[in-house]
Amino acid sequence: MTPEYYSDVYKRYATFAHNYPGSPPLRRVVSGANGDDANWTETCMKRIPLNQMWAITLHQYTLPTGNWSKKGPATGFDEGNISARYATA
């Protein structure tokens, strides 16, 4: 998916997603890039009006083992695993 296409689809969503009486305000969050893709972020920030977004997500994935099929647990890891995660961040 291109950031241009995503921006267009997101703007359609944001146009029809409204706050409703008695409900908390709707928080429209733009999906950030998959990896180190500054073009995605820049395109979304330029093409989506600020009044249609509350935030944009930023993602940083770490891979302490260097192997996606054995990436380790998402929670409950030990101190050695934390050090490995910081080293690859």
Name the β-bridge partners of 55: 29
Q: Which helix (H) or strand (E) holds 5?
A: helix 3-16
Q: What is the mean pLDDT of residues 8-14?
A: 96
Q: What is the mean pLDDT of residues 28-46?
A: 91
Q: What is the reported pLDDT for 47?
A: 97
Rounded Cα–Cα distance for residues 82 and 73 (Å): 11
Residue 52 pLDDT class (50, 70, 90 cuts): very high
Judge if pTM exceeds 0.75: no
